[in-house]
Amino acid sequence: MAGEATPLARPWQSSNRLKSSTKGFIVLAVVLVMIVAQTELVASKWEQRQPTSSSRSLFTCPQLGPLNPSKGSKTWLDRFESRDFVNAAVERFSGAIQIPTESFDNVKVVHSTKIQEDNFVRFKDHLLTSFPKIRDTLNLTIINTHSLLFTWQGTTPTTAPLLLMSHMDVVPVLPETLSQWTHPPFSGHIDHPNDWIYGRGSVDTKGTVMASLEAIESLLAVGFTPRATVYVSFGHDEEKGGFAGAKEVSKYMENVLGLGGRVGMVVDEGLDSFTEEAGVSVVTVAVAEKGIATFEVVVETHGGHSSVPPRNTGVGVMAQIVAAVEARPFPVVLSERNPFLRTVVCKDEYAGVVDTIVREGLRGFYEGGREVLAEYLASKSLASRYRMATSQAVTKINGGLKVNALPEVVTAYIQDRVSMDSSTAEVLDVTWKNILPVAKELGLGFKVINIGEVVYEWVPPAGSNVGNVTITLPLTGLEPSPVSPTDNDAWRVMEGTIHSVYEEAGKKVIVAPGLMNGNTDTKFFWGLSKNIYRFAPVMGGEGYHTVNERASIKGYIKAIKFYHELIRNYDEI
């Protein structure tokens, strides 16, 4: 990380500290020998624990110890145990859930734009009312009308800043599902005896919005001032892709604040970060996420009366195209580049001793084990399958307006999540080659367009053309993300803080690097930092994107502690 050398003794900086302290000095040989010996001892210990990208260490899962801040007081954490604090914090969280900041693909269908916009204004006001110290101390920049960027100015501007990210919008609640909710989705109902707080956004992701601000408000209350500037950004349209919110925030941070490549660490929401494997808690921090390619497929055929249809209507052609696409899923590939391999290694090392197929697959990785292991993991869960394969989903189809008329145009959308070992161009290539035989067989012209450029065209023999198929890509395109490092200070702060906050007496936690199948707002922040970590710090939620979404109150309070300690630990890098 950029910035000044720390005067603090950090367990994982010992070797550097000793080395630098010897530099430039003439010392007695005996002292030098002692220091070098000590340095090497520390270094070799560290190397044993240090993840590197070499294949030798790819198959081990070194774990750091808990990382606790050396400045400040341990008693700062006591407030989070008090009933008064918990009750008040949960009320504030509930207040945030009660404001329906829903993101609709087409806002006009459900609510007026005005109502939606008012909700974001109310949400911002709720934050400023809930956290008066933040309101009075941090600088708030409103970006593109509704996204928020808080700046907590550090005392040492040369130190690389920390960026905590979340989003304020939530997926909508289908009116048809209202009766299935135990408590209404925007009630923010608090059920202390059962440790739940209910509502849309309780899991995704108002918990991270509120917990990060609770942590900062608490640090302000004890007089903490960071050396490194802390930015907190909340987008308002993550559930629609983040193009109006996070994208604009990233542009502002890069172009106006001049922070391109200079942010020391970005922490954004994750998904299913906590799993229990054979009695061991495994916490996954996503160090990469897959790419996206969305194809539009258009079938144009002759219209006419339904009483004299051709052999295949436009709908029938599209049905065959969809069948051809679904018949050929992308292969599973478990490469060294894919952080999912690191997750598997960690789970095997600490929690999977009973799964001999995984163990043997890892041991014989380069002798055929890789393929067996990949297929085995894919067969166990879809989420695992798609951490190794590009997924392909036909998500929308439109065609036909009248039961007795043949549709001239039928359109379908296919969304692919691009694996770490592929690219949008390769996915396009595979997809159109799967569809081409359908067009040829049925006698339709065939055209493939990649960002306005025709990359392939097939014209049927003269007189036999019954229509056309056009595949366009990318309507939206995103390559797989860079892989964030796990051998630097930013990762060590992340991992060490997780150990310190989530390990309880007698219960160890394993922290594993991993891969997100979906995308977060961080896709716009690659230019700001190479250290991007996606983590869901609120343990124990349910109902993600569906009915009865609810968060654990205890999990929520832990998340506040996580941000609190993360900010302090980061400040001591």
Nearer to Zn ion, 204 or 300 (CB): 204
Nearer to Zn ion, 149 or 165 (CB): 165
Tell me which of 102, 169, 348, 495 is the catalytic residue: 169
Closest distance of CB 200 from Zn ion, Å: 12
Q: What are phi and psi of 235, to 5 degrees?
A: -80, 165
Nearer to Zn ion, 204 or 289 (CB): 204
Residue whose token pair is 């996580």: 562
What letter does residue 138 receive in the DSSP assignment?
S
Q: Tell me how far apart the alpha carbons of residues 140 and 149 are, in angstroms, rounded to a whole number.
A: 6
Q: Six-digit token pair at 283?
A: 């916490």
Q: What are phi and psi of 554, to 5 degrees?
A: -60, -40
Q: Is there a binding annotation on residue 302?
A: no
- Cβ atoms of residues 166 and 234 within 8 Å: yes
Residue whose token pair is 């009915």: 547
Bin 41: left if φ > 0, else alpha if -120 < ψ < 50, else beta.
Answer: alpha
Q: Which residues contact 22 (CB under 8 A, 6 or more apart)?
A: 32, 35, 36, 39
CA distances, 16 to each of 23, 33, 46, 382 (Å): 11, 16, 11, 44
Q: What is the CA radius of gyration of the chain?
A: 27
Q: Which residues contact 441 (CB under 8 A, 6 or more apart)?
A: none
- Cβ atoms of residues 95 and 130 within 8 Å: yes
Nearer to Zn ion, 205 or 484 (CB): 205
Nearer to Zn ion, 205 or 450 (CB): 205
Q: Six-digit token pair at 252?
A: 């502002």
- Helix pair angle (14-22, 29-49), 10° resolution: 160
Closest distance of CB 237 from Zn ion, Å: 11
State the alpha helices, DSSP H only, in 443-527. 489-502
What letter does residue 203 receive in the DSSP assignment?
T
Closest distance of CB 251 from Zn ion, Å: 21
Q: Which of 537, 542, 536 is nearest to 559 (CA)?
A: 537
Specify the DSSP element, H or E, that contains 409.
strand 409-418
Does residue 571 carry a catalytic annotation?
Answer: no
Tell me which of 102, 217, 237, 238 is the catalytic residue: 238
Closest distance of CB 238 from Zn ion, Å: 6
Evaluate the CA torsion angle 361, 365, 368, 371 in order and state its sign. positive
* Cis-peptide into 205, omega within 30 deg: yes
Closest distance of CB 382 from Zn ion, Å: 20
Closest distance of CB 229 from Zn ion, Å: 25
Q: Tell me how far apart the alpha carbons of residues 185 and 201 are, in angstroms, rounded to a whole number.
A: 9
Q: Tell me how far apart the alpha carbons of residues 484 and 530 are, in angstroms, rounded to a whole number.
A: 6
Q: Tell me the CA end-to-end span of the chain in Å, nearest whole number.
A: 8
Q: Is there a binding annotation on residue 545?
A: yes
Nearer to Zn ion, 249 or 412 (CB): 249
Nearer to Zn ion, 92 or 206 (CB): 206
Q: Which residues bind Zn ion (CB under 5 A)?
A: 204-205, 269
* Residues of the chain by 3-state class (helix, strand, coil), percent to 5: 40, 20, 40
Q: Is there a binding annotation on residue 84?
A: no
Closest distance of CB 547 from Zn ion, Å: 17
Nearer to Zn ion, 162 or 203 (CB): 203
Q: Tell me how far apart the alpha carbons of residues 468 and 490 are, in angstroms, rounded to a whole number.
A: 52
Closest distance of CB 204 from Zn ion, Å: 4
- Cβ atoms of residues 318 and 406 within 8 Å: no
Nearer to Zn ion, 358 or 539 (CB): 539
Nearer to Zn ion, 239 or 571 (CB): 239
Q: Which of 91, 96, 85 is nearest to 199 (CA)?
A: 96
Q: Which of 517, 456, 516, 462 is nearest to 484 (CA)?
A: 516
Does residue 169 carry a catalytic annotation?
Answer: yes
What letter does residue 163 receive in the DSSP assignment?
E
- Cβ atoms of residues 186 and 138 within 8 Å: no
Closest distance of CB 305 from Zn ion, Å: 48
Beta bridge partners of 401: none
Residues with active-site annotation: 169, 238
Q: Where is the binding site, in residues? A: 167, 204, 239, 268, 545
Q: Where is the binding site for Zn(2+), in residues? A: 167, 204, 239, 268, 545
